[in-house]
């Protein structure tokens, strides 16, 4: 009986661990894109179809898969192009700058582009400075770009290889929405912003209570020349909550229905029971 119990627990543990490992990963396919909160969507798209001279790509493709069959491909053919992938959740208790405990993403730049060799897909945090939905004129972005971070400041980024950037401790610069203003201070970490770093008289004064309303990544806005890049495995965490990773795929992998998993479990338990019976005969 002890042998059967251990076998049963082992089988159940496999399925429990499998479900747990997948719980933190959200697979995003083209069918999952759409407007509104808690959905990825394309924004700030500048292409020949929208009156610009750039032929711009921003889509989930299988050109450079990262963790499965796809990733987000982003490209432009001249400096007029731009595209962002955006995910917002609005005002959620606990999702504050001071409570952010994990932030990373995977990216790749393809070789051959003529845009500045320091450029790569940028990452942004969408903030409300005082965390109060009732106030206005205090929202903007904190923006990560490799060029403002060691190693290789201002140097060419790696090409044709996936890079995982853990940016929780990286330098971010600020772009205010109202007025539209770039705060030209590029060496403040998120911890320094949360501690009230105020590098300019025109900067929004942030704090640990600054609300983080969403995340996004993108290319373009004055990138003279051509560019092709890719993004996958966007990860964040607040406090001690679950780590959430967005894995972009061209299509979702087939996952057995719960009833099928139950049948598989019972089948494995049956095999374990028969083996025990055979050993005792």
> What is the pTM assigned to this prediction?
0.82
pLDDT computed for residue 190 by the predictor: 97
Residue 13 and residue 51 share a domain: no
* Contact indicator for 131, 211 with CB cutoff of 8 Å: yes
Residues 12 and 39 in one domain: no
Shared domain check, 95 and 19? no
Closest CA to 97 of 231, 239, 220: 239
| Count of the separate structural domains present in the chain | 2
Section 234-259 average pLDDT: 86
- The residues near 136 (Cβ < 8 Å, ≥ 6 apart) are 178
Tokens of 182: 């770039």
Specify the higher pLDDT residue, 255 or 94.
Answer: 94
Residues of the chain with pLDDT > 70, as a percent, come to 81
Q: What is the mean pLDDT of the chain?
A: 86
| Same-domain pairing of 167 and 269 | no
Q: Got the DSSP string for 3-68? A: HHHHHHHHHHHHHHHHHHHHHTEEEE-GGG--SSTTS-EEEEEESGGGT-S---EEEEESSS-SSS
Phi-psi category of residue 121: left, alpha or beta, with phi > 0 → left and psi -120 to 50 → alpha: beta
Is residue 8 domain-shared with residue 75, that is, in the same domain? Answer: no
Judged against a pLDDT cut of 50, whether residue 271 lies above it is answered with: no
Q: Are residues 54 and 10 located together in one domain of the fold?
A: no
Residue 39 is predicted with a pLDDT of 97
Residue percentage of the chain with pLDDT more than 90: 73
- Clarify whether residues 189 and 145 are in a common domain: yes
The residue range of the domain holding 229 is: 30-251
235 vs 180, higher pLDDT = 235
| Range in 59-68, 129-138, 146-155, 211-220 the model is least confident about | 146-155
Please, what is the end-to-end C-alpha distance for the chain in angstroms? 14
pLDDT-derived band of residue 263, with 50, 70 and 90 as boundaries?
A: low
């Amino acid at each position: 009986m002890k042998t059967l119990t251990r076998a049963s627990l082992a089988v159940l543990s496999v399925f429990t661990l499998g479900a747990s490992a997948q719980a933190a990963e959200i697979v995003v396919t083209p069918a999952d894109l759409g407007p509104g909160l808690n959905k990825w969507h394309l924004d700030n798209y500048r292409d020949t179809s929208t009156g610009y001279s750039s032929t711009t790509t921003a889509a989930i493709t299988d050109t450079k898969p990262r963790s499965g069959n796809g990733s987000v491909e982003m490209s432009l053919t001249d400096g007029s192009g731009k595209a962002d992938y955006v995910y917002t959740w609005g005002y959620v208790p606990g999702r504050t700058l001071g409570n952010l405990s994990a932030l990373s993403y995977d990216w790749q730049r393809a070789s051959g582009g003529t845009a500045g060799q320091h450029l790569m897909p940028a990452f942004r945090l969408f903030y409300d400075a005082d965390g109060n939905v009732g106030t206005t004129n205090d929202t903007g972005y904190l923006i990560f770009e490799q060029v403002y971070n060691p190693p290789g400041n201002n140097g060419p980024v790696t090409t044709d290889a996936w890079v995982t950037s853990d940016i929780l401790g990286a330098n971010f610069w600020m772009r205010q929405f109202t007025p539209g203003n770039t705060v030209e201070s590029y060496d403040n970490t998120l911890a320094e912003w949360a501690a009230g770093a105020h590098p300019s008289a025109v900067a929004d004064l942030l704090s640990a209570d600054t609300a983080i309303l969403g995340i996004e990544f993108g290319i373009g806005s004055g990138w003279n020349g051509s560019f092709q890049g890719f993004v996958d495995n966007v990860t964040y965490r607040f406090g001690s909550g679950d780590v959430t990773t967005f894995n972009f795929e061209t299509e979702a992998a087939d996952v057995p229905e719960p009833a099928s998993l139950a049948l598989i479990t019972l089948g494995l338990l049956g095999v374990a029971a028969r083996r025990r019976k055979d050993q005792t005969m």
